Amino acid sequence: MAVPTVPPRSDAEQIAALLDSPEIDQLVTVLAATRWTGRPGYPIRAMVGMALAKSLYTLPTWTRTVALVGEHAALRVAIGCPDSADVPSVHACYRFTAKLRKFKPLLDACLDRMTAALHEQIPELGSTVAIDASDLPAYGNGQRYLYKGGPERKTYSDPDATWGHRSAVSTRAAGSFYGYKLHQVVCADTGLPLAWRVETAKASESTFAMPLLDAVKARGFRPEIAILDMGYDHTHVYEGCEQRDCHPIIPLRETPAVKAGKHKPPVCEHGEWTFAGAETKRRAAKWRCPTGECSPASRWIGASRLHTLIPRGTARWKKLYRLRGSVERENGRLKNEWALSPLRVRRIERVRLHADLTILTRLAVALDKARAVPLAA
């Protein structure tokens, strides 16, 4: 594979700015305090700089990252090793990732600082969120047979990966794949990831919707609306959202109740009843006889899967559901612009770290931009 062309100097300046941000500087400090147990030498700041460079330059491997930094003088200066002989080795990068896995709470705290700082810059961040899962095919073969009609595979190179289903995107059809899924909550207005987790591919996505929403709230966000696709159309998701003071926007699957029309507005001899507003505290929506001749002329219907507080037929619901594209676009961005995929690591803990570092860089750059150009109040 060809070595990537050397990017302009501004990207090196970007990395220097990220390393100097208080959020990442603190990560460097706390990691340094744990003491470097491996071979002595590379400073933690340079190692964090390597990790940022890997995502920023969309590089799938440490080998290519080390090669890029080695031939890029400005980048070497940015991470603090101007002499090319001092550039961290590929093995040092692997030892660093092992250290990060061991000290995961320190990285988690850095991600918490990052989302909090973004929230400070963008006060409305996370008030409307979109949740979805995206496929991350494993770096390994999951076929059960070594070849067609051949013997069964005895060992799998990535035993944590499993077979799961992915939905269609523009470039390929839906189908099964072997690997992992990134489940994430993004801010529907900015696309920024607010909470995420990597799980094995076969795990059902609706299982993680509430833990993710809780993680978003634990980071200080107050999501009022959550937009999800049909894969999350389960009673427990609706109830969980409302219990968290968040209105779910989810299309209905064709279940027997839906086929029987139980999701439709009430009707009377005067016609179909109209929506007359919802009360969040009451967790119910008011519906009214179209002519007001019924007695009573209106009644409350409690929030449920079939009758949501933002009713599916309304213009507001349709407008909100269109924001679901934000999470799909973010999945694409992380994969194509920040090197989230293709995976070049095996085992779920390594895939999780890879996702964390990718999103850390993505958020750090967004924060840097937000600070440089404060949004108009």
Binding site for Zn ion (CB under 5 A): 268, 270, 289, 294
Comparison of 159 and 292: residue with beta carbon closer to Zn ion: 292
Q: How far is the CB of 298 from Zn ion (least distance, A)?
A: 10
List, in sequence order, every residue forming a beta bridge with 278; answer none if it has no partner.
285
Least Cβ distance, residue 266 to Zn ion (angstroms): 9
CB 289 to Zn ion: min, Å = 3
Minimum distance of Zn ion from residue 276's CB (angstroms): 13
Closer residue to Zn ion in complex, CB, 77/297: 297
∠207-208-214 over CA atoms, to 5°?
130
- Residue of 287, 247, 257 lying closest to 270 (CA atoms): 287
- Find tokens 């949501």 and name the residue: 308
Residue 372 has a CB neighbour count (10 Å cut-off) of 8
**C-beta closer to Zn ion: residue 169 or 268:** 268
Residue 359 and residue 195: Cα distance in Å, rounded? 10
Shortest distance (Å) from residue 287 CB to Zn ion:
11
Cβ pair 121, 377 in contact under 8 A: no
Please state whether the peptide bond connecting residue 8 to the residue before it is cis, i.e. omega within 30 degrees of 0: no
Distance in angstroms (rounded) separating the CA atoms of residues 346 and 35: 27
Closer residue to Zn ion, CB minimum distance, 270 or 318: 270
Q: How far is the CB of 272 from Zn ion (least distance, A)?
A: 10
**Block residue for tokens 């996370």:** 126
Query: Closer CB to Zn ion, residue 230 or residue 276?
Result: 276
Cβ atoms of 357 and 339 closer than 8 Å = no
Q: Which lies closer to Zn ion via its Cβ, residue 146 or residue 276?
A: 276
